[in-house]
Amino acid sequence: MLQDILGEQLMLNRQMFTNFQELIYITCGIALADNKRTMLSVRLLKRLRALNFDSYEEYFEHIQTESNFADELQSLLNVVTTNKTDFYREKHHFQLLAETIIPELRSNHLISSTDNLRVWSAGCSSGEEPYTLAMVLSDAMGAKTGSFEILATDISTKVLQEAMSAVYCEECVAPIPEEQKKKYLLRGTGNQKGFYKIAPEIRKHVKFGHLNFVAENYRIPEKMHVVFCRNVLIYFDTHSRDEIVRKLCNQLVPHGYLFIGHSETLDPQEYQLERLLPTVYRRKC
């Protein structure tokens, strides 16, 4: 077991684990379960070693110092947040968007050849989701039927930097269909051999930004036609999850669409939504 490998002297004691649990919950709403003590210990060791601290207590005191709080808190959140993602993850969501939702938005006159389709990838991690959206929408819409813009946000500045670099290894891009690889990926050469960069015509549609889901105001000026918030809500407790879903729904245009992950559930009536599929909802008004 990982706990045995770490050794008790490298494990967070229960009081310090509780301290970090509370700090993380207050600042970003993520509720770490009690069985995450080993995981948090392993991840925090990276910061202890980077800062040359000998104990978790010393590191916790460092964070509490006013002059260190903002910067080190962000470093802590970068270490703590989980960023599992893939290109074309839950592929049927993208098929539904291209084949059903875009035509429906057009028929309801929510978008037209002169309007931009606005999509939000909320919890975008290292960029695979928003770039998948951009490739799918480029194929589905084309120049003659209107353009689109994608807002991609995350709390981790580390993964946002990775996403903005738009460079992925060969294993990472494996789920992308061959036709789209040829159209939308640039193959690396020399010391970049084995890596691929998302083409400029795809990158231009995606705007990245930092966002904390528990912020009082998301400060996103435009309403969205579609929001992807998949495999994010599972990290929050009931109260925080309720607040986040309400903010996401408020960011949707009437009859806009919300996608969540397959391990997540919500009561559509609580948020003026109608359920189309177990993970796909439409705002009623």
Same domain, yes or no, for 235 and 132?
yes
Q: Which residues are catalytic?
A: 43, 154
Same domain, yes or no, for 132 and 220?
yes
Same domain, yes or no, for 59 and 144?
no
> Which residue do the tokens 């813009």 mark?
149
Domain count, the chain: 2
Q: How confident is the model at residue 146 (pLDDT cuts 50, 70, 90)?
A: low
CA 215 from chain centre, in angstroms, equals 15
Reported as a single tens digit per residue, the pLDDT across 96-127 is 999 999 999 988 888 877 778 999 999 999 99
Reported as a single tens digit per residue, the pLDDT across 53-67 is 989 999 999 998 878
Same domain, yes or no, for 31 and 100?
no
- Amino acid, single-letter form, for residue 44: L
Same domain, yes or no, for 68 and 151?
no
Any domain includes 220: yes
Same domain, yes or no, for 25 and 64?
yes
Any domain includes 85: no
Tell which of 51, 80, 109 closes a domain: 80
Distance CA 166, CA 269 (A): 39
Same domain, yes or no, for 158 and 74?
no
Contact status, residue 87 vs residue 132, Cβ threshold 8 Å: yes
What's the pLDDT at 2?
A: 37
CA angle 211, 212, 213 (to 5 degrees): 110
The neighbouring-strand residues paired with 195 are 169
What's the pLDDT at 165?
A: 97
Same domain, yes or no, for 167 and 57?
no
- Which residue range is the domain that position 187 belongs to? 91-283
